[in-house]
Chain A
Amino acid sequence: MFQPKPDNEPCCGSPPGPPSSPDERPGYRLCSFVERFVATPEGVTPQVKTRLGLRDWLGTLRARLGIRRDHYRVAPGLYAAGSPCADSPVLVTANYKLSFDVLRRELTGANVWIVVLDTRGVNVWCAAGKKTFGTDELIDRVKAVGLARIVNHRELVLPQLGAPGVDGNRVRKTCGFKVVWGPIRARDLKKFLDSGKQAEPQMRQLSFSLGERLVLVPVELSLLVTPSLWIVLAIVVLSAVGPTFSLALTWLRVVEMTMAYAVGVVSGAVVVPLMLPWLPWRSFYLKGGLVGLVGGLAVTLGRGVGESRVLAMILVCMTVSSYAAMNFTGATPYASPSGVEKEMRRGIPLQVVALVIALALWVGGRFWS
């Protein structure tokens, strides 16, 4: 016999979800970091959430691993954090989602405007170096969002690390807004704003702690994936070269040299960044060479050091580590371009010589032994 279901039981599937947000528009997607929209004299502006959600953390993880990092961006323009009014401060940042997330996470309880510049999805500091976090972009963006009609004051708070790209004097002359250099780290922002926009000396000073070095490692490794595939292919080809062909010997040689290469990558791109303050010498190619030597000796342990292939493995490990460490200068906050060029003029010839000797020992060893 037919019995109607009670009212509280859904007729099919799971119960309906929450109603659509009043801010949703056909054809437009509401970004997960937008809470709602607030009215301004220039139209509505998205109010951002100051707590990061699961999607933000997953995105952060993805960007840190170097997966589609260049595509992790937010739309440039004006945003609100909290309920800003015409007297609220204006903060400026890059449209790299990681920079944007770090900023909004520190703004719980604050009422500020955020102007996001189009830095092509690059963080503040690197974008300042490339001048996309730059004077013209800032002037154009301030005009485009109609900032002069939204706020009464004429002040923009910029992250200090944007200074290599932004000429504060020209911004003031061209669009009437004075640039105030904020702290380097977003976590000091509230203190900075609360103390009348005064930066304490330590807010202006860079740091490079173990944690700050650690988060850079995955991206360094991700940049090596494609070249590594080619290098392993070369190892396979070179391992087969010899007076007689033997599949077993070729396989052994592929495994041995790939191990030496892999240990070289880990030495230069992981161990050197982590142990940076404790390694001797200031040049990165030397630091990398030293760690590579230790790694090379470890990976060849138990094999006769006199053998040419063992020497070749150690040399490859040192060279790869030296090069990878030298490339890490680009991620450090204290290496100068003049210094990097100087050490490269010394390091690269040594790396080339070491590699040529390694190849001669590796391939030639099979002919003369």
Chain B
Amino acid sequence: MNDFRYLPGVSTLRLKEDLCIGCGACVEVCPHQVFSVNESKATIVDLDGCMECGACALNCPVAAITVSPGVGCASYIIQTWIKGKGAVIECC
């Protein structure tokens, strides 16, 4: 998604490199090429490319990745402001 860039410095994505076993699952599931695996360790090569879908964190076998995933849709976020984060929200 190099042609389209969103706001810089907002992603909640974090990688604990000491836990990483270099399996490459994150590289495989990320649709934005945020990760790269070198010398059996993953690194975040494009943090601002992250759209916080959560695929990497869910599929990391050693839980080395954390991200706060969510729906990036304004009407959804407005509803969470009104009803609270835990509420059932009608959306797209």
| B-side interface residues, number (CB < 8 Å) | 39
Instruction: Check if B72 is an interface residue, CB within 8 A of chain A.
Output: yes
Bound Cα distance from A184 to B30, whole angstroms:
10
A164 within 8 A of B: yes
Pick the contact of B61: A169, A276, A327 (CB < 8 A). A169
Total number of residue pairs linking A and B with CB closer than 8 Å = 127
- Tell whether B15 is near chain A: CB-to-CB under 8 Å: no
Stretch at the interface among A113-121, A201-209, A238-246: A201-209
Does B29 lie within 8 Å of A208, measured CB to CB?
no
Contact between B7 and A277, CB atoms less than 8 A apart:
no
Q: Mark B49-65, 1 if CB is under 8 A from A, else 0.
A: 11111110011010000
Q: Is the CB of B29 within 8 A of A339?
A: no
Residue from A206, A332, A339, A341 whose CB has the most chain B CB atoms within 10 Å: A339
Shortest CB distance B83–A (Å)? 15
Chain B residues, CB < 8 A from A327: 73-75
B72 & A340 in contact (Cβ 8 Å cutoff): yes
Q: Which residue from A161, A323, A339, A340 sits with its C-beta under 8 Å from B31? A: A161
Encoded as 1 (CB less than 8 Å from any B CB) or 0, chain A from 320 to 345 comes to 00010011011111111111111110
Q: Interface residues of A: mostly helix, strand, loop or mixed?
A: helix
**Is the CB of A160 closer than 8 A to any CB of chain B?**
yes
Interface membership of B66, Cβ < 8 A: no
Q: How would residues 116 to 132 of chain A score, 1 for a CB under 8 Å from any chain B CB and 0 otherwise?
A: 00000000001011000
User: Closest CB-CB distance, A131 to chain B, in whole Å?
Assistant: 10
Contacts known (A336-B10, A339-B6); A206 close to B75, Cβ less than 8 A: no
Please name the 8 residue pairs, one residue from A and one from B, whose CB atoms are nearest each other, closest first.
A330-B73, A163-B55, A337-B70, A163-B29, A339-B7, A338-B10, A336-B52, A335-B72
Residues of A near any B CB (own CB < 8 A): 126, 128-129, 160-161, 163-169, 181, 184, 199, 201, 204-208, 223, 276-277, 282-283, 323, 326-327, 329-344
What are 9 of the A-B contact pairs (CB < 8 Å)?
Answer: A128-B53, A168-B25, A204-B30, A327-B75, A334-B32, A335-B72, A337-B77, A338-B11, A340-B72
